[in-house]
Amino acid sequence: MSGRAAKAASEIARVNAFFPIMPLLGNRLAAKRPFEGLTVGVSAHLTSFVGALLQELALGGGRFVVCGASEATTDGSVVELLRSAGMVVHSAGSRKDHQMLVLDEEPDLLVDAGANLIGTLLARRPEAAAQLRGAVELTKSGSERLKGLQPPFPVIDLNDGRLKPGVENRHGVGEGLWQAVQQLTGVHLSGRRVGVIGYGPVGRGLAAYARAGGAAVEVVERDPILQLVAHYDGYPTPTLEDALKRVGLVVTATGGRGVIGPEELRPARHGLVLINAGHGDHEIDVVGIKGASAAYDQIADKVVAYQLEDGPRVIVLADGHPLNIVMNAGSPEPLLVHFAALGLALERLTQGGLPPGVMVVPAELEADAARLALKALGRAHG
Ligand SMILES: NC(=O)c1ccc[n+]([C@@H]2O[C@H](COP(=O)([O-])OP(=O)(O)OC[C@H]3O[C@@H](n4cnc5c(N)ncnc54)[C@H](O)[C@@H]3O)[C@@H](O)[C@H]2O)c1
């Protein structure tokens, strides 16, 4: 094994030592060998966590042909590790059509992050699509993209079940976002006044972790039922305008566009810090804020202050991109739980009997993934 591959192997060993959900998945697959004789095509962000997943999936037999979903997120040491384990890896950027290189291997199963392989297969290899046993989609953006497609094979969408909102959205983002804020700004939450916009699973986690960190949290939510839930969870629930006059940091988690722009900011508190935890970079209207500013100042990497004309000075972090992702912050455990569900979904596809088209991840499969997580935590009962 090369030095770079050994670096990835040691990172994976560290993660597995404290939360061994991936080895537990691997043990199960090694006993059943569900992928024996099959080719599995994978498009994913080739981080050390995906490396940990693929190493264990490979214990289920089969041949793995992998491509990176993005050049920016491809870790060269992971690529080397996977190659040393006998996988074919086309790292993003090695050739434009790396997805076609995977599809050229005529996979029986697909693992996708962003519906890249599924979309390319349907558009460019419709005859091969009819032969596919099935696919698993990992990401929210892929899940959205799949809504416009009608695959002639089963696709298990891991996003709309109960497990991801309950664990990753709520606890993964809740913990990771504030860790990222601290890394980037040095701010300690104690005694700070924080606004959370949106009280879905992500907002609920953000509010809870900020409160646990000592902040005074206010929640802005437009759904009256969730606003009432936030109230009984113990948070003031003002209007956005009212909250922005008081809070020192505000984080958006709505899934909407332009939730905070120059108009909303005019009456806001001087020095307000704007952070996004929602998908994409459109919840905070950074272009609008820039356009309405008399001056702006890059204070540090990913930290820009804007002096609004007729308004306060505000600070935007990471240009309004989801900060926990930009900073790769937070515990990997929620992501690894999601990956365990992926492994079990792939195993389920080999058993056949699922109808063609996109389906929400079956409840019993999520329950199995949760049992693996509980076992990894040493908390399994029954
Ligand atoms: N940063 C990450 O790592 C990460 C991870 C998972 C999900 N997400 C994203 O976070 C966002 C929130 O996820 P969720 O699961 O909580 O979604 P959700 O749809 O369950 O919750 C969003 C909430 O925001 C409220 N809302 C919408 N517009 C609003 C507005 N203008 N003012 C006040 N409230 C408003 C909605 O009523 C809803 O309750 C999504 O965009 C999701 O894709 C980010």
- Alpha carbon distance 125, 99 (integer Å): 12
Ligand 1, CB cutoff 6 Å, lining residues:
140, 165, 169, 173, 197-203, 220-223, 226, 253-256, 259, 277-279, 322, 324-325
- Alpha carbon distance 378, 209 (integer Å): 24
* Number of helices followed by number of strands (H, E) in the chain: 18, 14
Q: How confident is the model at residue 96 (pLDDT cuts 50, 70, 90)?
A: low
Q: What is the DSSP letter of 320?
A: G
**CATH class in words for 3-157+332-376:** alpha beta
Q: Identify any residues that bridge with 154 across adjacent strands, giving them in sequence order.
A: 357
Choose the weakest-confidence range: 95-99, 255-259, 261-265, 321-325. 95-99
From 168, 169, 321, give the residue whose CB has the most ligand 1 atoms within 8 Å, as the site to mutate.
169
Q: Is it the case that residue 334 has pLDDT exceeding 80?
A: yes
CB 264 within 8 A of CB 241: yes
The pLDDT of residue 73? 79
Strand residue runs (E) in the chain: 39-44, 63-68, 88-90, 109-112, 134-137, 154-157, 193-197, 216-220, 249-252, 272-276, 293-300, 303-308, 313-317, 357-360
Q: Is it the case that residue 307 has pLDDT exceeding 70?
A: yes
Domains 3-157+332-376 and 170-326 agree in fold: yes
Structure tokens at 44: 């994913």
Q: Measuring CA to CA, how many Å separate 343 from each of 48, 53, 110, 283?
A: 16, 8, 12, 33
The pLDDT of residue 92? 59
The terminus-to-terminus CA distance of the chain in angstroms comes to: 40
- Alpha carbon distance 212, 232 (integer Å): 17
The pLDDT of residue 72? 76
Q: How confident is the model at residue 94 (pLDDT cuts 50, 70, 90)?
A: low
CA atoms within 13 A on the CB side of 376: 24
The pLDDT of residue 251? 98
Q: What is the mean pLDDT of the chain?
A: 95
311 burial class (0-12, 13-18, 19+ CB within 10 angstroms)? buried
- Alpha carbon distance 20, 339 (integer Å): 12
CA atoms within 13 A on the CB side of 194: 29
Q: Is it the case that residue 28 has pLDDT exceeding 90?
A: yes
Whole-number Å distance, alpha carbon 278 to ligand 1 midpoint, is 6
Reference 21, options 33, 32, 29, 31; nearest CA is: 29
Q: What is the mean pLDDT of residues 293-299?
A: 97
Contacts of 16 (CB under 8 A, 6+ apart): 22, 23, 52
At 112 the three-state DSSP class reads: strand
Reference 265, options 298, 306, 226, 323; nearest CA is: 306
- Alpha carbon distance 39, 186 (integer Å): 47
Q: Rounded to an integer, what is the distance from CA 372 to the centroid of its chain? A: 20
Q: How confident is the model at residue 371 (pLDDT cuts 50, 70, 90)?
A: very high
- Alpha carbon distance 22, 244 (integer Å): 43
Q: How confident is the model at residue 97 (pLDDT cuts 50, 70, 90)?
A: confident
Whole-number Å distance, alpha carbon 197 to ligand 1 midpoint, is 8
Strands 109-112 and 303-308: unpaired
Q: Domain 170-326: give its CATH architecture.
A: 3-Layer(aba) Sandwich (3.40)
Please give the number of the atom of ligand 1 that sits closest to the Cα of 140: 43
CB 48 within 8 A of CB 15: yes
Domain ranges of the chain: 3-157+332-376, 170-326
- Alpha carbon distance 175, 155 (integer Å): 30
The number of residues in the chain equals 382
Whole-number Å distance, alpha carbon 333 to ligand 1 midpoint, is 21
The pLDDT of residue 95? 55
State pLDDT tens for residues 193-221.
999 999 999 999 999 999 999 999 999 99
State pLDDT tens for residues 155-195.
999 998 999 999 999 999 999 999 999 999 999 999 999 99
Nearest CA to ligand 1 atom 17: 200
Burial 55-66 (b: 16+ CB within 10 A, else e): bbbbbbbbbbbb
Q: Is it the case that residue 381 has pLDDT exceeding 80?
A: no
Q: Note the pTM of the prediction, 2 decimals.
A: 0.89
CA atoms within 13 A on the CB side of 13: 7
State pLDDT tens for residues 109-157.
999 999 999 999 999 999 999 999 999 999 888 999 999 899 999 999 9
Nearest CA to ligand 1 atom 43: 279
Please give the number of the atom of ligand 1 that sits closest to the Cα of 165: 15
What are φ and ψ of residue 318, in 5° steps? 55, 35
Q: Is it the case that residue 382 has pLDDT exceeding 60?
A: no
Structure tokens at 96: 């434009």
- Alpha carbon distance 352, 365 (integer Å): 15
Burial 18-51 (b: 16+ CB within 10 A, else e): ebbbbbbbbebbeeeebbeebbbbbbbbbbbbbb
